[in-house]
Amino acid sequence: MAGGIITVIITITTTLSFFLTSQPPKSYYHSLYISSSLSSNQSISNHLYILTRRPHLAGTEANAEAASHVLSTLITNHIKSHLSEYAVSLTYPNTRSLTLTHPPPKPPTTFSLQQVVYKDDPYADVADQVEPTFHAYAKSGTVTAPVAYVNYGRVEDYTTVEKSGVNISGCIVLARYGEIYRGDIVENAYAAGAVGVLIYTDRKDYGGGGGGTKWFPDEKWMPPSGVQVGSVFNGVGDPTTPGWASSMEGCERLSEEEVERGGDVPLIPSLPISGADGEEILRAIGGVVADEGWQGDQDAPVYRIGPGPGVIELSYKAKQVISTIQNVIGIIEGVEEPDRFVILGNHRDAWTFGAADPNSGTAALLEVAERFEKLRKEGWKSRRTIIFCNWDAEEYGLIGSTEWVEENREILSAKAVAYLNVDVAVAGAGFHASATPQLDQLIIEVTKQVQDPDNSSQTVHDSWVKTTKYTKIGRLGGGGSDYAAFVQHIGVPSTDISFGNGYPVYHSMYDDFVWMSKFGDPMFQRHVAAASIWGLVALKLADEEILPFNYSSYVNELQKSAKDLDAELSDKNINLIPLFKSIEKMKTAAEWINKEIKEMREKKGWAFMWKNQPWKLREINDRLMMAERALTDRDGLPGRPWNKHLIYAPSKHNDYGSKCFPGIDDAVKNANKFETKDSWRSVQHEIWRVARVITQASLVLHGELT
Ligand SMILES: [Zn+2]
């Protein structure tokens, strides 16, 4: 449903007048890109409908079919495209069973572990193609033990359990989803001595709370039979090829034992279960009544910690295979700087139908490609190269993007200007963004130009400020999506955007087109807005003479984090001066380059510069591009060599959490635990390392040899 006739006429007349005079400026095309005459919610919803007709898990034929749709759409839009394939280790469920034994005389309960088809479900005919509920990379095995309840399964939850005098060792734990990454739930359980893990969806968190009795398809909430599946792998990329690509022509591969020794795959079995099954198990747990914060909604039974008297028998057997996965790569070659890349990425593989996660993003990606083609027909040519990436096997552990980045590491390190990720483009209302800080300002500026999809009288920026009081931008240290390899492994400036933040049917079989068109985005206008913001950020990065990066935001972020660290370590004998000094250097360098750019723009202008001193513009852009790379270190974080970025990485006990100065943070936690001279010396060492990369970044920004 594109814009009205009037907009179309205005567009045509302005285009004509430019055509008659001279080549319009890039800004003309950028405005045209976000105009209603070029966008189409109808085309986006069509793409989403096609992409989500069948469940399309990584490694399946259905996902290869979805790849063909993406590939052919890119090719139709005259984007030079190819498949980039890898042979990777994936797991699927082979057999599963779960039995709860109650104290006599109640007979045991054997759970069906089935998600049920809903009333008038248009996908009922393909429901048998939904993979049985499981955790990818879960350990195979059968365990029988009394069951204990551990809330969200965080480190602090185990501390609470211990304080209640309950011994978890040898138990099967029941944890609820919601606060941390599921792989960490399993790892924390293992560390506490548990022998198996069940993770359920509590209706307090995903069912609307308040004893709600309505759920999908009547309301947006997760049905009682709904199960959140997902990966429990704690690493990144193919577990059998850590740090190198899983090449199709054959490559070195770790054995199963070596992978287990690596410590990123679980060593105890686990299963995800529904809210209804979780509640049934909670009824069989006695012992100490859990705290208020651990309880369910008003109609839920009283949650107790246990262990027992209920006894669980959990059996899981995985099918481990080497599968072919397919990234789709599409390239619009830049005219003036073809060797500088602006990369847009989204994954395609889904646990089930994937309407929100991830194909709302795929539909938006295809919309961006279609609008770029319309711009080209109007005469637009990109200054830099734009690359579309549609990743595979993200759900298993960011595999498609990681293998590609590992394989192309040196080329990307030399040429990638920025990576722009969208995973779930739309799960509801409200704009959310995360970025490496030099891109904050660009995101803010772009949201001022795009109309709010839920209120046409204001911009996305207006509503963003209204809901969060200020333009809150998250950071990209977490392991939640495909930006991880770009930011954390090779140091490419990146962004990640979405509308809506979390949604109840996440990773269940109810994440389908019906849910999206009833609750996620009934008019598909949020999809349109997501494509507008995503594409406009890409266009500005691809076309502006000087890269729209501002390192002053980075400096502010570093200062804030350093002050927090200072407060945390105030009573320790730790010297933070090197860190503060390095940030001061970066501040001076950021001011210096900003001043250089400003003077050049005011005194000479970009047209003059490109004609007479193109090398000088190029040199400034290279400094802006490479400063982020300088924040990486060859050795990476202690014990996490793949994580090269010393400023951002996942928090150690929650992969979804982004941590600033992760190496220092790990060392401090360790020192607080052991309180030895050596452990505090490691803290000081990590501070020096961070100070050194920040100093490197400021030298790059400043651009002169010492
Ligand atoms: Zn996703």
Query: What pLDDT, in 10s, does the model give residues 202-240?
Result: 999 998 765 567 899 999 999 999 999 999 999 999 999
pLDDT at 655: 75
Which has more confidence, 468 or 439? 439
pLDDT at 652: 79
Residues with CB in 5 Å of ion ligand 1: 357-358, 423
Mean pLDDT of 38-49: 96
Dist. CA 621 → ligand 1 center (Å): 32
Is 16 part of a structural domain of the chain?
no
Instruction: Return the CATH number at 314.
Output: 3.50.30.30
Question: Two tokens at 303?
Answer: 């949650």
pLDDT at 473: 95
Tokens 């990966």: give the residue.
231
Dist. CA 394 → ligand 1 center (Å): 7
Is 380 part of a structural domain of the chain?
yes
Q: Around Cβ 567, how many Cβ atoms within 10 Å?
A: 8
Is 52 part of a structural domain of the chain?
yes
CB 388 within 8 Å of CB 329: yes
Residue type, 442: L
Query: Residue 23 pLDDT > 90, yes or no?
Result: no
Helices (H), 337-428: 359-377, 394-397, 399-407, 409-415
Tokens 């309301």: give the residue.
219
Mean pLDDT of 599-613: 93
Is 12 part of a structural domain of the chain?
no
Q: Around Cβ 705, how many Cβ atoms within 10 Å?
A: 5
Question: Two tokens at 621?
Answer: 């852009």
Task: Please choose, from the candidates 230, 229, 228, 247, the residue with its C-alpha nearest in 3D space to the C-alpha of residue 238.
Answer: 247
Q: Mark which of 267, 296, 321 sits at the end of a domain.
A: 321
Is 13 part of a structural domain of the chain?
no
Catalytic residue among 394, 395, 406, 557: 394
pLDDT band for position 13 (cuts 50, 70, 90): very low
Residues 288 and 369 in one domain: no
Name residues whose C-beta falls within 8 Å of residue 563's C-beta, 6 or more positions apart in sequence.
none
pLDDT at 520: 98
Residues 120 and 250 in one domain: yes
Helix, strand or coil for residue 89? strand
Name residues whose C-beta falls within 8 Å of residue 159's C-beta, 6 or more positions apart in sequence.
none
Query: Residue 102 pLDDT > 60, yes or no?
Result: yes
Residues 257 and 336 in one domain: no
Query: Residue 4 pLDDT > 50, yes or no?
Result: no
- φ, ψ of residue 483 to 5 degrees: the values are -70, -15
Concatenated DSSP letters of 581-641: HHHHHHHHHHHHHHHHHHHHHHHT-HHHHHHH-HHHHHHHHHHHHHHHHTTB-TT-BTTBT
Helix, strand or coil for residue 248? coil
Distance (Å, rounded) from C-alpha 252 to C-alpha 92?
A: 23
Query: Residue 77 pLDDT > 90, yes or no?
Result: yes
Is 17 part of a structural domain of the chain?
no
**Domain count of the chain?**
3
Residues 476 and 532 in one domain: yes
pLDDT at 211: 57
Instruction: Return the CATH number at 695.
Output: 1.20.930.40
Classify residue 75 as exposed, middle or buried by CB count within 10 Å of its CB (0-12, 13-18, 19+): middle
Dist. CA 638 → ligand 1 center (Å): 28
Distance (Å, rounded) from C-alpha 340 to C-alpha 538?
A: 12
Instruction: Return the CATH number at 361.
Output: 3.40.630.10
pLDDT at 479: 85
pLDDT at 1: 42
pTM, rounded to two decimals? 0.95
Please compute, for residue 308, the number of CA atoms within 13 A of its CA located in the half-sphere on the CB side.
11
Dist. CA 395 → ligand 1 center (Å): 6
Q: For all residues of the chain together, what is the average pLDDT? A: 94
pLDDT at 90: 98
Strand partners, 431: 499
pLDDT band for position 8 (cuts 50, 70, 90): very low
Residues 107 and 157 in one domain: yes
**Per mean pLDDT, which range of 24-38, 262-276, 653-667 is the poorest?**
653-667
Dist. CA 574 → ligand 1 center (Å): 40
Torsion of CA 435, 439, 444, 446, to 10 degrees: -110
pLDDT at 651: 81
DSSP state letter for 37: T
Dist. CA 388 → ligand 1 center (Å): 17
Dist. CA 424 → ligand 1 center (Å): 6
Is 680 part of a structural domain of the chain?
yes
Is 9 part of a structural domain of the chain?
no
Residues 31 and 94 in one domain: no
- φ, ψ of residue 577 to 5 degrees: the values are -55, -45
Residues 191 and 175 in one domain: yes
CB 437 within 8 Å of CB 556: yes
Residues 557 and 534 in one domain: no
Kindly tell me the sign of the dihedral angle through the C-alpha atoms of 686, 233, 366, 382. positive
Pairing of strands 337-347, 384-391: parallel
Strand partners, 312: 100, 145
Query: Residue 18 pLDDT > 70, yes or no?
Result: no
Question: Residues 178-196: pLDDT tens digits?
Answer: 999 999 999 999 999 999 9
Question: Residues 325-383: pLDDT tens digits?
Answer: 999 999 999 999 999 999 999 999 999 999 999 999 999 999 999 999 999 999 999 99
Question: Two tokens at 162?
Answer: 């211990």
Distance (Å, rounded) from C-alpha 307 to C-alpha 148?
A: 4
Q: Mark which of 488, 515, 543 sits at the end of a domain.
A: 543
Pairing of strands 270-273, 141-149: unpaired
Task: Please choose, from the candidates 432, 428, 422, the residue with its C-alpha nearest in 3D space to the C-alpha of residue 515.
Answer: 428
pLDDT at 448: 98
Pairing of strands 141-149, 311-332: antiparallel
Q: Around Cβ 239, how many Cβ atoms within 10 Å?
A: 27
Dist. CA 450 → ligand 1 center (Å): 24
Dist. CA 82 → ligand 1 center (Å): 22
Note if 686 is an active site residue: no
Residues 432 and 525 in one domain: yes
Dist. CA 327 → ligand 1 center (Å): 15
Structural domain boundaries enclosing 34: 23-86+329-543
Dist. CA 348 → ligand 1 center (Å): 8
Percent of the chain with pLDDT over 70: 96
Helices (H), 398-459: 399-407, 409-415, 440-447
Which has more confidence, 18 or 424? 424
Mean pLDDT of 2-26: 55
pLDDT at 443: 98
Dist. CA 7 → ligand 1 center (Å): 35
Residues 292 and 358 in one domain: no
Residues 535 and 586 in one domain: no
Residues 82 and 94 in one domain: no
Q: Mark which of 493, 525, 543 sits at the end of a domain.
A: 543
Question: Residues 406-420: pLDDT tens digits?
Answer: 999 999 999 999 999
pLDDT at 215: 93
pLDDT band for position 123 (cuts 50, 70, 90): very high
For 187, 237, 266, 290, 678, the CA distances from 191, given in Å and listed in that order, are 6, 23, 11, 21, 24
